[in-house]
Structure 1
Amino acid sequence: MLGNIESGNGSGGADLSDIDLTSQSLDSRIKYQCASSHAYYAADGTIQFAEPDVWPLEYRDGVVVGRHEPERQTTNLLTHATNFGEWRAANSSVTNSDEMLFANEHAQFVTATATATYTRVYQTPTLADGDCVFTLYVKPGTTNYLHATLEDSTRQNSSHFYADLVTLTGGIVTAVGNLPVTVSVKKLDTGWFIVTATATMPLTSPYYVYFGAANAPKTVAATAGDSIIVGFTQIEQGAVQTSPIVTQGAAGTRAAAFASVRIYPGLTGLRISYSDGNTDIVRLDGQADDWYQLPASTSSWGERYIQRISYFKE
């Protein structure tokens, strides 16, 4: 039995063995297309960027985890995703740190220069009404706390929220009007934290996107000298956080990715196994094409990886 199907049983002697997506080389029964370079976690723990049409093997804590699910097209609407010296500042300074999130690029300290509320840096991208995700990759500086704000240009709708890198919690400090935000904090094995704010924007407008260091959890206040280390920021339309898109002066778009599996006559379906222990069952009844296109990811980037694809027949 190969891939749960006896050799030659309606498959024309095709290779029906399992497809191992934790292998360094990509199986010839897989096609992958993405017109853009795209991020992945390398063996050394840094985020690196694969060439177009390359589906790289990924690692977490130095261990192979598989390949990330294909992602939808999206745009990072922040014009400077890694250089916060290009953001406008309010009672804050920006300097390089020794930390690196991306290979060969220094993360930066954002430091309060006054004891005050709302010490921060900011940009003003235009966002459409509907769902959006604001993501920050951060490390503690002199403080383990940060605050951030999303606010429309009329200042009638805003949410001021916090992230606590000790307890891995976050939430709204104060809010005005109608701009709901849900905050999550996740620690990576590299020591970086991903702070994600999923929001529903009430109208199409330029928005103030702020963040800065805080001197305690659940506050927007800082003491002079408080700092956090920031490696990357992204704001994108949609309800799912996707992989980083580095920008250097203009918004940047990552093309949609497509991954397809070779299929054969007589198959009932595919079993797709993931790094989180889950398995999806795909029915192929009546499928006439030679290739089955895997669906786009509905999970946040880095949450799970495809590890194995098996053929089956009932």
Structure 2
Amino acid sequence: MPDLDIIDYANQITCIDTHYQRPELAACYLLESEGEAVFIDTGTSHTVPYLMQLLAAKGIQPSQVKYVIPTHVHLDHAGGAGELMRRLPNASLVIHPYGAKHMIDPSKLIAGATAVYGEAQFAQQFGTLTPIAEERVIEAPDETRVRFGNRELLILDTPGHARHHFCIYDALSQAIFSGDTFGLSYREFDTEDGHFIMPTTTPVQFDPVAWQATLARLISLAPERIYLTHYGEIGTPQTMAEKLSRYIDEFATIAKSSNASPGEQRVADIRNSLKDWMLAELQAHGCRQSADIIEQRMAMDLHLDAQGLDVWLTRLEQA
């Protein structure tokens, strides 16, 4: 097992590398207050030993963890929730109402992911999905407030990336834990011009109109920083939101510009167009990594984004 890889930020916030796919691709967060703790996102079941190791390193007993809060049920964010809850005797799971049933009975998540990855690859990437007892699950609709210690978290319904997605606003740090709603921004692409950011349009619920409204709502809170699952803390939220808003529209335009047949042909065509867009944007951003290295590191993201855009186009065509 790789070493525990964490970043301690201000306001008792700890970022934990979930070791999903590669280093610094996916994170989850531990928040502390007055002898109580909360996990935001969980990674996969393979991540859980790291989370328990972190608690031990900080002198936190499993019984002190009050909530586990996945931003949504995509497996790189919530795949480990059931196994983590099994080890935290006093914790409740806080989840979007649309996602609750999949945490109680993950059979559809398993079936869907297995259909995409195959059984062997599913097991390698995600491990085992453990059901969570219904009585331990709290459905959190928009503007639910979650309290632990002397800290309060505000849950905000944030469709756009997925309909079952919420973000968490932490008043103490004046920060938003954004899951995938604020896109992805990998630290390896930071330059003198700041952070590079882009949408993540993973299947199957990309909705650019809803996403734009969500971004406007989040920025209206005037956050000082954003904590991304992919990856870590970023500043200048207003600037990042403006870029992300523009890029969401550009992703939609790229998808609509494809003349390929729906399905695999259109996914490949959109992926190639996204790759060209990304390489041009990174070059303009001052990134000096080679095109081959960039494409290698972003291969999974580009493929998932193209798949999601193809699903979105199909939905528009059917409508």
Aligning the two structures, in what range does the TM-score lie when normalised by the shorter sequence? under 0.3
What TM-score, normalized to structure 1? 0.24
What TM-score, normalized to structure 2? 0.24
Q: More helix by proportion, 1 or 2?
A: 2
Bigger relative CO (Cα 8 Å, ≥ 6 apart): 1
Q: More strand by proportion, 1 or 2?
A: 1
